């Protein structure tokens, strides 16, 4: 179990991630607790919602304010915008009934013809594709096994090997099938892990180790070339390479997100590779019953995804990237008109999250505003703009925001440039941070009661040291003992810890008011939103120190010593 270092906790108390963005604790707290479900997530305070109105303001009609995407193809901010060809194809597809099996076979054949792979399949997102391929590998196409998943009792294939560098939040989709993930860190461990229960090898293509590490795809496939073990590659955020680079390197199946670079339906993905295995994978997918029924993929997504791939091979990617650069240059020219502001444009590189980027940097002590504050202003005020977040160097005070060009639409660069220019060119008063003396000594044991959305839980805080306004200690969560640290400002208390396991993490940020022996407030979970909490000082707050009695041995040294 990995624990967040206390110094890291203290550094991150000023800004915590909320569902893929950066929001300050102040912003979160100001918008209420989880008892107010609309505003508790740290999002823009919504106007009164009315009936859905079809038209350009369709989102505003129900109280949702859209944003300009200068961050990237993150699912939490709705991925990419579908290509016009995709929207038209989906519209036509929605007007007819078809047999989904027949449609899947026709689409799979056409995807193969376009990409050069043996076969293709549309899934309900990349993660669902990972799940379905895993099911295919552990069942081998046997429907009696299929309907038993995730109970793998009696199965011969129950393990998936994954290098440490490939562990990530999305491999939860693989674990959903009931398999045991075997994590390896060296070629020796990899070879020793292979056995008769090995169903599949899972590789995440984004890390550098995938291409040139000891457990690269080439090295792995060389070891298993005669063992009939499939290799699944997760290339969710990559551009589509034709002929496919991963299949050429030895992958059996490669999975992509449909709603990222390919700009198909956000709720779709594609799988390319071995025909037989993809037939078993389709067998494990909706509309068929079994473990994949909960990942339904409709006729519109099938046709929309095929239309996106058809368009991919016709798109002029070179010209698209020139447009990205021109948008970054426009913003750069505008904002560098402010004294002390510098920029750097990074041209598109590689295949993963390929985009042009613009970094805008200034001295926070000169302009009296940080990148974090600028990013928050851009996201929380109209017109809303999602950026890569702010960064401030504590050593020299330099601060920045980043802009990604990949998902920007025509004319967006003008709006973005004007908004950033306006914020940075305004006069900002120098901030004087006044921290009030602590109103309480928080050292002790605290019993924490948490009101989740649909249940209750109990945690414990063992606050061991308070030096001035700084607090340190331990946090006993549902399953773990975590380091926790934070600050007390008058009666305001903020504490932060982090739970991490299986390549996934849950941040805990306690933000409350202390009154005597009671601390009440809101507990934030990052992307998992929030809950109300009440902490009360434990009756058994202090450890009782008693005399330690040493057994008498008559003055003679015991043989057991």
> What is 214-275 written as a DSSP string?
TT-HHHHHHHHTTTT--EEEE-TTBPPPSS-HHHHHT-SEEEEETTSTT---TT-EEEEE-H
Nearest Cα neighbor of 233 from 273, 203, 272, 276 is 203
Query: 6 and 105 share a domain?
Result: no
Q: Is 82 within the bounds of a domain? A: no
How far is the C-alpha of 508 from the C-alpha of 492, rounded, in Å? 16
Kindly state whether residues 34 and 165 are assigned to the same domain: no
Same domain as 97, residue 3: no
- Give which of 277, 297, 284 is closest to 147, Cα–Cα: 284
What's 383's DSSP letter?
S
**pLDDT value at position 528?**
93
Residue 342 pLDDT > 90, yes or no?
yes
> Can you say whether residue 529 is alpha, beta or left, with left for phi > 0 and alpha for psi between -120 and 50 degrees?
left
> Confidence class of residue 502 from pLDDT cuts 50, 70 and 90?
confident
521 and 455 share a domain?
A: yes
State how many domains the chain has. 2
Pair 2, 106 in one domain:
no
Residue among 471, 473, 476 at smallest CA distance from 487: 471
Q: Which of 283, 312, 341 is the last residue before a domain boundary?
A: 312
Domain that holds residue 187: 87-312
Domain identity same for 110 and 6: no
Q: How far apart are CA 503 and CA 517, in angstroms?
A: 37
- Whether 418 is in a domain gets the answer no
Which of 282, 312, 342 is the last residue in one of the domains?
312
* Same domain membership, residue 14 and residue 132: no
Angle at alpha carbon of residue 18, lines to 125 and 61, rounded to 5°: 75
> Do the domain assignments include residue 214?
yes
Whether residue 217 is contained in a domain is answered as yes
**Residues 126 and 261 grouped into a single domain:** yes
Is residue 209 located within the same domain as residue 106?
yes
CATH of the domain at 268: 3.40.640.10
- 114: in domain: yes
Residue 126 sits in the same domain as residue 224:
yes
pLDDT-derived band of residue 389, with 50, 70 and 90 as boundaries?
confident
Average pLDDT, the chain: 89
The strand order across the sheet containing 357-363 reads: 342-346, 357-363, 398-404, 390-392
Tell me if 410 is assigned to some domain. no
Give the chain's largest Cα–Cα span. Answer: 96
pLDDT at 11 (0 to 100): 38
pLDDT of residue 334: 98
Of the three residues 263, 281, 312, the one that is the final residue of a domain is 312
If you average pLDDT over residues 213-231, what whole number do you get? Answer: 96
CA distances from residue 484 to 8, 394, 475 in whole angstroms, order as listed: 10, 22, 6
Closest CA to 471 of 458, 483, 456: 483
d(CA 452, CA 202): 34
Question: Quick one: pLDDT at residue 552?
Answer: 55
The answer to whether residues 108 and 282 touch, using CB atoms and an 8 Å cutoff, is yes
Give the residue from 295, 253, 285 showing the smallest Cα distance to 146: 285
Distance CA 102, CA 108 (A): 10
pLDDT bucket at 38, cuts 50 / 70 / 90:
very low
Within-domain flag for 187 = yes
Over residues 287-302, the mean pLDDT reads 94
Supply 477's token pair: 């969560």
pLDDT at residue 394, rounded to an integer: 85
Distance between terminal CA atoms of the chain?
Answer: 35
In this structure, what CATH number is given to the domain that contains residue 473?
2.40.128.120
Q: What is the pLDDT of residue 98?
A: 97
Q: Looking at the domain assignment, is residue 62 inside a domain?
A: no
Determine the average pLDDT of the residues in 197-224: 97
Residues 22 and 137 in one domain: no
pTM of the model: 0.86
pLDDT at position 224 is 96
- How do residues 94-142 score in pLDDT, each as one tens digit? 999 999 999 999 999 999 999 999 999 999 999 999 999 999 999 999 9
Same domain, 267 and 188: yes
Residue 239 is classified by DSSP as P
What pLDDT, on the 0 to 100 scale, is given for residue 421? Answer: 98
């Amino acid at each position: 179990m990995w624990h967040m270092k206390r110094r890291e906790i203290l550094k991150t108390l000023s800004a915590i991630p909320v569902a893929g963005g950066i929001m300050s604790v102040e912003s979160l707290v100001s918008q209420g607790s989880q008892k107010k479900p609309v505003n508790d997530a740290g999002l823009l305070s919504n106007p009164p919602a009315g009936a859905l109105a079809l038209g350009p303001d369709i989102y505003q009609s129900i109280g949702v304010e859209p944003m300009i995407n200068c961050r990237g193809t993150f699912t939490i901010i709705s991925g990419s915008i579908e290509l016009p060809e995709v929207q038209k194809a989906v519209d036509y597809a929605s007007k007819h009934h078809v047999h989904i099996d027949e449609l899947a076979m026709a689409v799979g054949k056409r995807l193969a013809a376009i990409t050069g792979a043996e076969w293709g399949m549309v899934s309900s997102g990349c993660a669902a594709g990972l799940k379905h391929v895993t099911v295919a590998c552990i069942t081998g196409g046997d429907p009696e096994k299929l309907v038993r998943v995730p109970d793998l009792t009696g199965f011969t294939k129950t393990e998936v090997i994954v290098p440490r560098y490939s562990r990530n939040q999305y491999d939860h989709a693989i674990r959903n099938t009931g398999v045991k993930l075997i994590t390896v860190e060296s070629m020796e461990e990899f070879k020793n892990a292979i056995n008769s229960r090995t169903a599949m090898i899972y590789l995440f293509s984004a890390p550098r180790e995938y291409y040139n590490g000891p457990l690269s795809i080439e090295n792995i496939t060389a070891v298993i070339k005669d063992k009939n073990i499939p290799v699944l590659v997760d290339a969710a955020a990559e551009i589509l390479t034709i002929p496919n680079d991963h299949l050429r390197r030895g992958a059996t199946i490669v999975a992509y997100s449909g709603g990222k670079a390919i700009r198909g339906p956000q709720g779709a993905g594609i799988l390319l590779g071995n025909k037989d295995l993809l037939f078993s994978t389709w067998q494990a997918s909706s509309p068929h019953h079994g473990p994949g029924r909960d990942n339904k993929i409709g006729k519109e997504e099938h046709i929309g995804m095929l239309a996106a791939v058809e368009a991919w091979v016709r798109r002029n990617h070179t010209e698209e990237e020139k447009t990205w650069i021109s948008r970054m240059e426009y913003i750069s020219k505008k904002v560098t008109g402010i004294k002390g502001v510098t920029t750097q444009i990074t041209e598109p590189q590689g295949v993963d999250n390929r985009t042009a980027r613009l970094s805008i940097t200034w001295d926070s002590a000169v302009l009296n505003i940080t990148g974090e504050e600028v990013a928050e202003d851009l996201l929380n005020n109209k017109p809303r703009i999602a950026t890569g977040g702010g960064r401030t160097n504590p050593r020299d005070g330099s601060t920045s925001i980043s802009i990604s060009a990949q998902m920007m639409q025509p004319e967006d660069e003008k709006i973005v440039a004007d908004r950033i220019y306006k914020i940075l060119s305004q006069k900002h008063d120098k901030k004087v941070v006044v921290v009030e003396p602590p109103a309480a000594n928080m050292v002790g044991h605290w019993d924490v009661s948490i009101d989740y959305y649909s249940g209750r839980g109990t945690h414990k805080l063992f606050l061991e040291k308070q030096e001035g306004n700084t607090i340190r200690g331990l946090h006993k969560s549902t399953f773990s003992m975590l380091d926790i640290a934070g600050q007390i400002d008058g009666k305001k208390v903020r504490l932060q810890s982090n739970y991490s396991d299986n390549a996934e993490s849950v941040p805990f940020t306690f933000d409350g008011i202390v009154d005597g022996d009671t601390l009440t407030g809101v507990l934030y979970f990052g992307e998992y939103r929030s809950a109300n909490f009440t902490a009360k000082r434990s009756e058994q707050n202090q450890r009782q120190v008693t005399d330690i009695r040493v057994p008498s041995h008559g003055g003679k040294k015991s043989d057991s010593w």
